[in-house]
Every structure is written in structure tokens, then in C-alpha cells.
């Protein structure tokens, strides 16, 4: 049973957010500007969003009593990361509007379900196969062809649980290296660009898409986003149309980030979905009339969506680990906007903040 009747949550209300990382933090800051309070829920006490939340719950995601108290204290529930048990969002959805709805999370938190959903919605994806054993992997490699990539179906992020299979000799080691559980084998995409499109979709089904952006990764972690993507207009239009179609098919209320590959032949293939604010949308804070975080708040509260126009071009660079120590130089740089997440320990690869460098809009 769902408590969602499409109701509007007016300013003054409380938005409950599962997860309290930097995405929750930046959402809470945008929510405050519109007169909302945020109640963050996360098992780890030292989480960036707690510093800027009106209320906090530190509890496990399967703590039924804590979840019930949280549901009572908020007007609408959303989440800022995917690895939340379905039982948790279902329990909350029975009590308070939960946006996006639990089904969306169920699809997006499992790579196989996600690819099956996309394929059924006639969205172009790379060849893929389900893999449940070392023997099945050998057969799947024969079907998909080399090179290919083996990924865990669940709980993989930033390249964790991913193994490249370039040659037949790599097959034997790949299954144990992947880790545990069910795998998905994907044909390796020889892409020219990795891009993403963030779609906002409201309670009324109205959608708005930010311009596609180009993403550069290092060690599977997003390093930089270039906005807009430097690709021909027909490819950008196709990417936006695909993203909008996926958001409609999933019936997302909130945000959906659609990560895609552009192939040598100019095809656009969807790689992954994230039904929440996304690292590749951070540039929108400084370069668009409405940031992805404000748009997220508007969508989950049933408000009209804002303009997705960008007034500037932008390059967003993540500050990983010790890179954050350059804060003084970045602050002294004209046209650079620094964002820090309030994390105390700059471990290697940890997202400590980002900097967005603006330039005049070209077209
Ligand atoms: P993912 O966790 O699926 O976003 O993958 C992390 C990164 O690995 C992507 O951003 C790509 O750079 C690379 N990657 C993932 N899947 C593939 C694929 N099927 N073909 C080529 N590169 C891939």
C-alpha cells in the first residue's frame, strides 16, 4: 500500500532523506533555500549531511522502530543513494509519500534488473548475460564475445566488483575476482565518450532534462564533468530523448541520472541509472538557473520544476583525497567555485569536494 496520493508538500515541510553523504548535504542546502527542513537518516554518525540537517537519525536501515519514528517526523521520503533494502523503502512508502517509489529503487539497485528493464523498454544497451557460476561465465563469454566486462549485479559502485575479460586466459580468474553473488557479463563498449543526462520528473509526469554532459573517469571514479558535452546536436538530442523515455517508463518522481556510452559509430547506449542527484550534475549548482538539488526538492515535493537553462559552460572537477588541500589556490582563482563536503579525513579516492570552473556559454 502506498501513502502517496500525489500530494504537494509546501515549503515549511520536512523532507526525509535516506543516506547522508554529500548528495544529501547539497540537497539539504537547496531545501533550506526553499524553506524546507531536511531530516537525514544514515547508519554512520560522521556523515556530511548531518552537519546541515534540521534533524538526524543515526540508525541501521533495517531498524523498524527508528524507521517508524522517522516516518512520523517527515512529510515525504526520498533517498540519496541506491543500496537501501527494498523492505525499508516499502515500510516507509506505506506511511508517507516516498519519491521515487520503491519499485524504481528496486530496478536501479540491481544491474541485471536494470538492464532487463531497459531492454524491455526498447532502450539501446550493450549485449549482456546473467552469470551465476564459473561454468555459466564460460558460456556467456562465448555468447557475448571478447572483450567483455563482468560486474556484480548488486552493491557495485565506482568500478568495485568489476573485472575486465580481454582474453580467454582471463576467464578462470574473473569469477572469483568479481566477489560474490550474481554477475552480469557485458560486451565491452569501445566508446568515444561517456555522457550522462539528468532528468527531473514531477508528480504530474512533467519532465525537464539538463543538457547532456561528458564524464571523464580515472580508476572508475568520476574525475571531471564537461558541460555541455562536446558532441554533435543529433547525438545530444538522442541522449536527451532516451533519458526522458527511461524516466517516463520507470515513472520516476524526483531525479534520474542516465549514464550512457557514445560509440565510434555514434550510437548511444545506456550503461547505468541512478534515481537521485548525481555527481555529474554538480555543475548545475553554479551554471544553471535551477540546480539539480533544487530541482530534486521541487520534484519530490510536488512543486513546479524550475528552468534547466545553463547560463554558463562549466567544467566540474572532483577533489579526491589530498587534492582538497589545494582549497586556498582554488579560492584565489577567478571563475572557480569551490564546494567542500565537511569530511575530516582525506583518504585516497574519497570525494572531499568539487570545483566548478565557469566560462561564457558558447551555444
Ligand atoms: P559502472 O560502474 O557500470 O558505471 O562502470 C564504471 C566505468 O567502467 C564506466 O564509467 C566505464 O568507464 C567502464 N565500463 C563499465 N561498463 C563498461 C562496458 N560495458 N564497456 C566499456 N567500459 C565499461
- Choosing from 112, 179, 220, 258 the residue with most ligand 1 atoms within 8 A of its CB, the one to mutate for a pocket test is 220
Q: What is the DSSP secondary structure assignment for residue 155, as one 8-state letter?
A: S
Report which of 274, 103, 272, 257 is spatially closest to residue 184, judged by C-alpha positions: 272
58 CB contacts (<8 Å, ≥6 apart)? 42, 43, 44, 45, 50
Work out the average pLDDT over 97-118: 97
Q: How many whole angstroms separate alpha carbon 317 and alpha carbon 357?
A: 8
The one-character DSSP state at 9 is -
pLDDT band of residue 1 (cuts 50, 70, 90) is confident
Q: With beta carbons less than 8 A apart as the criterion, state whether 229 and 238 touch.
A: no
Q: How many angstroms separate the CA atoms of 344 and 138, rounded?
A: 45
Query: Which of 124, 159, 183 to mutate for ligand 1's pocket (most ligand atoms within 8 Å of CB)?
Result: 159
Secondary structure of the chain: what % helix, strand, coil (to 5)? Answer: 35, 30, 35
| Mean pLDDT of the chain, nearest integer | 96
- Asked if 98 and 104 count as a contact pair (C-beta separation under 8 A), the reply is no
Q: pLDDT at residue 156 above 70?
A: no
- Rounded Cα gap, residues 199 and 280, in angstroms: 12
Q: Residues 12-37: pLDDT tens digits?
A: 999 999 999 999 999 999 999 999 99
Distance (Å, whole) CA 291 – CA 252 = 18
- Nearest alpha carbon, ligand 1 atom 2: 159
CB 280 within 8 A of CB 227: no
Residue 67 corresponds to which cell in the numbers above? 524507521
The average pLDDT across 218-233 equals 96
Which residues 6+ apart lie within 8 Å of 332 measured at CB? none
What does the DSSP 8-state code read for residue 49? G
Q: If you measure from the C-alpha of residue 278 to the centroid of ligand 1, how many angstroms do you get, rounded to a whole number?
A: 16
How is residue 181 written as a grid cell?
A: 553473488
Backbone angles phi, psi at 101, to 5 degrees: -70, 160
DSSP bridge pairs for 216? 224
CA 61 from centre of chain: 19
Evaluate: CB of 188 within 6 angstroms of ligand 1: yes
Atom in ligand 1 nearest the alpha carbon of residue 160: 2
Beta carbons within 10 angstroms of residue 122's beta carbon: 8
Ligand 1, atom 10: closest residue by C-alpha = 220
pLDDT of residue 158: 62
Q: Which atom of ligand 1 is nearest to the CA of 186?
A: 19
How far, in Å, from the CA of 348 to the mean position of ligand 1? Answer: 21
**Closest protein CA for atom 9 of ligand 1:** 220
Does ligand 1 have an atom closer than 6 angstroms to the CB of 225? no
Ligand 1 center to 338 CA (angstroms): 28
- Residues 117-154: tens digit of each pLDDT: 999 999 999 999 999 999 999 999 999 999 999 999 98
What does residue 253 show for φ and ψ, rounded to 5 degrees? -115, 115
Whole-model pTM: value is 0.97
Amino acid at each position: 500500500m502506498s501513502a502517496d496520493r500525489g500530494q504537494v508538500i509546501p515549503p515549511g515541510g520536512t523532507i526525509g532523506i535516506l543516506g547522508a553523504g554529500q548528495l544529501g548535504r547539497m540537497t539539504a542546502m537547496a531545501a533550506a533555500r526553499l524553506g524546507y527542513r531536511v531530516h537525514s537518516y544514515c547508519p554512520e554518525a560522521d556523515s556530511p549531511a548531518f552537519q546541515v540537517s534540521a534533524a538526524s537519525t543515526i540508525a541501521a536501515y533495517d531498524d523498524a522502530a527508528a524507521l517508524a519514528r522517522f516516518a512520523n517526523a517527515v512529510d515525504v521520503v526520498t533517498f540519496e543513494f541506491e543500496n537501501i533494502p527494498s523492505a525499508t523503502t516499502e515500510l516507509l512508502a506505506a506511511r508517507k509519500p516516498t519519491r521515487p517509489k520503491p519499485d524504481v529503487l528496486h530496478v536501479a539497485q540491481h544491474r541485471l534488473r536494470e538492464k532487463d528493464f531497459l531492454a524491455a523498454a526498447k532502450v539501446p544497451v550493450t549485449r549482456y548475460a546473467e552469470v551465476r557460476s564459473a561454468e555459466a561465465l564460460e558460456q556467456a563469454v562465448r555468447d557475448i564475445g571478447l572483450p567483455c566486462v563482468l560486474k556484480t549485479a548488486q552493491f557495485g559502485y565506482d568500478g568495485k566488483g568489476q573485472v575486465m575479460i580481454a582474453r580467454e586466459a582471463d576467464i578462470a580468474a574473473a569469477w572469483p575476482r568479481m566477489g560474490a553473488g550474481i554477475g552480469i557479463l557485458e560486451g565491452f563498449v569501445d566508446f568515444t565518450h561517456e555522457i550522462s543526462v539528468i532528468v527531473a520528473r514531477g508528480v504530474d509526469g512533467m519532465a525537464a532534462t539538463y543538457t547532456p554532459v561528458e564524464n571523464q573517469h580515472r580508476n572508475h571514479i568520476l574525475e571531471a564533468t564537461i558541460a555541455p558535452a562536446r558532441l554533435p546536436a543529433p547525438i545530444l538530442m538522442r541522449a536527451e530523448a532516451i533519458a526522458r523515455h527511461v524516466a517516463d517508463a520507470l515513472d520516476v518522481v524526483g531525479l534520474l541520472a542516465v549514464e550512457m556510452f557514445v560509440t565510434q559509430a555514434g550510437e548511444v547506449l545506456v550503461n547505468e541509472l541512478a534515481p537521485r542527484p548525481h555527481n555529474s550534475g554538480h555543475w548545475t549548482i553554479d551554471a544553471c538557473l535551477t540546480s539539480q538539488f533544487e530541482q530534486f526538492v521541487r520534484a519530490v515535493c510536488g512543486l513546479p520544476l524550475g528552468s534547466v537553462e545553463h547560463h554558463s559552460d562549466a567544467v566540474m572537477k572532483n577533489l579526491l583525497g589530498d587534492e582538497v588541500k589545494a582549497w586556498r589556490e582554488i579560492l584565489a582563482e577567478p571563475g572557480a567555485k569551490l564546494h567542500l563536503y565537511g569530511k575530516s579525513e582525506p583518504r585516497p579516492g574519497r570525494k572531499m569536494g568539487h570545483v566548478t570552473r565557469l566560462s561564457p556559454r558558447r551555444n
